[in-house]
Amino acid sequence: MNVRNTENLGSLSPFELKDELIKLAGSVTNRLMLNAGRGNPNFLATVPRHGFWQLGLFAMIESERSFSYLAEGVGGFPRRAGIEERFDLFARVHRDVPGVKFLSSAVSFVRDQLGLDAGDFIYEMCQGILACSYPVPDRMLKLTEEIVKQYVRKEMIGTHPFVGDFDLYAVEGGTAAMTYLFNSMKINHLLKAGDAIALGKPIFTPYIEIPELAEYGLTEVSINADPAAGWQYSTQELDKLRDPNVKAFFLVNPSNPPSVRVSDKSLEYLAGIVKDRPDLIILTDDVYGTFADNFVSLFAMCPRNTLLVYSYSKYFGATGWRLGVIAAHKSNIFDEKIAQLAEEEREGLNKRYSSITTEPEKLAFIDRIVADSRTVALNHTAGLSTPQQVQMALFSLFSLMDTAGSYKSAMKRLIRGRKAALYRGMGAEPEAVDDNVVDYYTLLDVEQMSRATGPEFVQWLLGAIKPHELLFRLAEEAGVVLLPGKGFGTVHPSGRVSLANLNEQDYVKIGQCVRKLRDEYLERYRQMGDDKDAKS
């Protein structure tokens, strides 16, 4: 594809544009394509996966204790009585098998640290991994919810003071959480067509695209992070939230694609705004928070106003598992807002949910999300598949038991080494160390990349290049695939580099390709200057 014909692709989502870039990058035979577009990590947590498969083996042994007289391969449900003792025997016999020690430690941790019944936990895990029963409760398995709560407290709340309790809904990853939340907010009149919602930009593209769909018809207000200030929000930008016409604030923290968490100062400022705007709805998507040290979510700061979305996909290398949760404080403004709706709206909602409860007006918002996810009529078969919930519990326990933070340290070393390699390839100094930067992605901004060459060149380049020209040239000429930052709400032309899905030497090569392209434009700019001088 000629870069002169890319203007008509400007309306495509970055993730759809990526497919066009991949076609170009793969168009040259025997050339290695370096796809740093999608953020699918090439690393994964092995220990809790070993645990999952060994748990499955134990669960099968439990199942085959029933109907063993049948030769046709029929088993039954695990039996609760004596299951803890049978598991202890299994763990001793197979103690040298990878994953068994982890499982044995997990049972001990659940019993001795979390205060839950070990036998009930083993029984729930066996039932779940065999997938022999519907998810009950449908919102989340009982002990699994308690375990994941502890994980959320550790990673999203930390040592920040937190009063009260919260509920979780296990969902098919962060994308399902977004879909369900937008849908239920509309159905329950928390957001109505024409309402203004604020988006903390740059932000994951669907948060920009979904509100614009005809079925939602929301007006977007941009809260722009400043790249010159380390991608933080200024107080002037955050003050847009003081406008009572702004009904909600959606953000990804740490951000996508800059991978920068909201600073402690800005979190405090946001909490102050919420005190003045106790009606403000907040949705925070914190999937990258686990790559930061001592991360504090806005959910911890403003729990009554905030819905938390968290996905296990990136931190544990589990994009294919589709594991995520929605968290809502038990005392929240969502339930209060629904109770304060006009009588006609409340009656309509009571009718909607009357088939699943005799007191629909008391149905919590998070349980309405569950019902709406199955069009209410199928509420009795709602819920994330039980094997998925089992793996979620094991991921959570793996993190909870890692009190030294060894896994987190390894993840940080991995992605930060790749960022250093990228800058090394560009012949540039790495950015100054900033505790708020988590480096899952990095943005290569045209203005930032060219700053060392002078502001005149930057201005010329911004005016000379066509939409997506640099990205298409990188794909066509070098086989490098990056996503356009524009689709995430950035101000200047930029490319999003995922630091999660290639090896370190690949990032050196990407840096070299970026530098070569920039130097070519610089040479063209200087040639123009020489031509001007010659004519004068």
Mean pLDDT of 170-192: 97
List alpha helices for 239-340, DSSP H: 264-276, 298-301, 333-339
Q: What gap in Å lies between CA 453 and CA 447, rounded to an integer?
A: 10
Q: Check whether 507 has a pLDDT greater than 50.
A: yes
What is the Cα–Cα distance from 482 to 512, expressed in whole angstroms? 14
- Distances 530 to 179, 458, 460, 524, 533 between C-alpha atoms, Å: 55, 18, 15, 10, 5
Tell me the C-alpha distance between 95 and 486, whole Å: 52
- Structural domain includes residue 392: no
Q: Looking at the 3D structure of the chain, how many domains does it have?
A: 3
pLDDT at 65: 93
Residue entry with tokens 């809502």: 328
The CA-atom distances, in angstroms, between 258 and each of 200, 273, 288 are 12, 24, 11
Q: In the structure encoding, which two tokens stand for residue 1, read together? A: 């594809």
Instruction: Report the alpha-carbon distance of residue 158 to residue 109 in Å, rounded.
Output: 19
Same domain, 371 and 415: no
Top pLDDT among 281 and 490 is at 281
Instruction: State the average pLDDT over residues 228-247.
Output: 96
Q: Let me know if residue 391 belongs to a domain.
A: no
Contacts of 449 (CB under 8 A, 6+ apart): 426, 428, 514, 518
**Domain membership flag for residue 9:** no
Residue 351: pLDDT over 60: yes
Decide if 7 is inside a domain.
Answer: no
Instruction: Give the model's confidence band at 448: pLDDT under 50 very low, under 70 low, under 90 confident, else very high.
Output: low
Mean pLDDT of 149-170: 96
CATH number for position 82: 1.10.20.110
- The amino acid at residue 45 is A
Burial of 189 (0-12, 13-18, 19+ CB in 10 A): middle
Please say if the pLDDT value at position 111 is more than 80.
yes
Overall average pLDDT of the 113-126 stretch: 98
Mean of pLDDT values over 480-496: 78
Across 134-138, 202-206, 257-261, 484-488, least confident range: 484-488
Q: How far is 315 from 274, CA to CA, in rounded Å?
A: 30
Q: Residue 141 pLDDT more than 50?
A: yes
Query: pTM for the full model?
Result: 0.93
What is the DSSP code string of 391-437? HHHHHHHHHHH-TT-HHHHHHHHHHHHHHHHHHHHHT-PPPPP-TTB
- Average pLDDT score over residue span 229-237: 95
Is the domain of 229 the same as that of 148?
Answer: yes
Do both 455 and 471 map to the same domain?
Answer: yes
pLDDT digits (tens, 9 = 90+) for 449-465: 666 677 788 788 878 88
pLDDT score, position 7? 58
225 Rama class: left (phi>0) / alpha (psi -120 to 50) / beta: beta
Residues 180 and 314 in one domain: yes
Which residue, 130, 155, 173, sits at the end of a domain?
A: 130
Q: Does one domain contain both 425 and 466?
A: yes
Q: How many residues does the structure list for the chain? A: 536
More confident residue, 146 or 204: 146
Residue 467 in domain: yes
CATH of the domain at 430: 3.90.1150.10
The whole-angstrom separation of Cα 198 and Cα 248 is: 6
CB-count burial class (<10 Å; 0-12, 13-18, 19+) for 420: middle
Query: Both 362 and 429 in a single domain?
Result: no
Domain boundary among 72, 101, 130: 130
Whether residues 150 and 208 share a domain: the answer is yes
Helix (H) / strand (E) containing 169: strand 166-171
* pLDDT over threshold 90, residue 121: yes
Question: Residue 500 domain-assigned?
Answer: yes
- Mean pLDDT on 200-216: 92
| Residues 184, 353 contacting (CB under 8 angstroms) | no
Q: Which of 74, 98, 130 lies at the terminal end of a domain, its last residue?
A: 130
- Tens-digit pLDDT profile for residues 26-60: 777 667 788 888 889 999 999 999 999 999 999 99
Which band of pLDDT confidence, cut at 50, 70 and 90, is reported for residue 16? confident
pLDDT greater at residue 365 or residue 430 = 365
Question: Could you tell me the pLDDT band of residue 6, with boundaries at 50, 70 and 90?
Answer: low
Does 6 fall in a domain? Answer: no
237-241, 255-259, 294-298, 483-487: which has the minimum mean pLDDT? Answer: 483-487
**Residue 490: is its pLDDT beyond 90?**
no
Report how far apart the first and last C-alpha atoms of the chain are (Å, whole number): 38
Does one domain contain both 99 and 196? no
Contact 13, 487 (CB under 8 A): yes
The answer to whether residues 322 and 263 belong to one domain is yes
DSSP line for 221-259: EEEEEEGGGTSEEPHHHHGGGGSTTEEEEEEESS-TTT-
Are 113 and 189 found together in one domain?
no
Does 472 lie in the same domain as 452? yes
Q: Is residue 115 scored above 90 in pLDDT?
A: yes
Mean predicted lDDT score pLDDT of the chain: 91
User: Is 219 a residue whose pLDDT tops 60?
Assistant: yes
Which of 158-172, 183-197, 493-507 is predicted least confidently?
Answer: 493-507
Residue 252: pLDDT over 60: yes
Q: Could you give the CA distance from residue 99 to residue 56 in angstroms, rounded to a whole number?
A: 11
Nearest to 248 by CA among 195, 174, 180: 195
Residue 376 has pLDDT above 90, yes or no: yes
Question: What confidence score (pLDDT) does residue 26 get?
Answer: 79
Cis peptide before 137 (omega within 30 of 0): yes
Residues 6+ apart with CB under 8 A from 176: 322, 324, 373
Q: How far apart are CA 433 and CA 441, in angstroms?
A: 15
Do 221 and 302 lie in a common domain? Answer: yes
Q: What percent of the chain has pLDDT over 70?
A: 94
pLDDT at 15 over 80: no
**Residue 8 covered by a domain:** no
Backbone angles phi, psi at 142, to 5 degrees: -60, -60
SS3 204: coil
Q: Which CATH number goes with the domain that contains 328?
A: 3.40.640.10
Question: Are 312 and 324 spatial neighbours (Cβ–Cβ below 8 Å)?
Answer: yes
Residue 502 belongs to domain spanning:
14-39+406-534
In the predicted structure, residue 1 carries a pLDDT above the cut 50: no
Supply the pLDDT for residue 531. 62
Contact 263, 291 (CB under 8 A): no
Task: Match 């070098």 to its residue by tokens.
Answer: 478
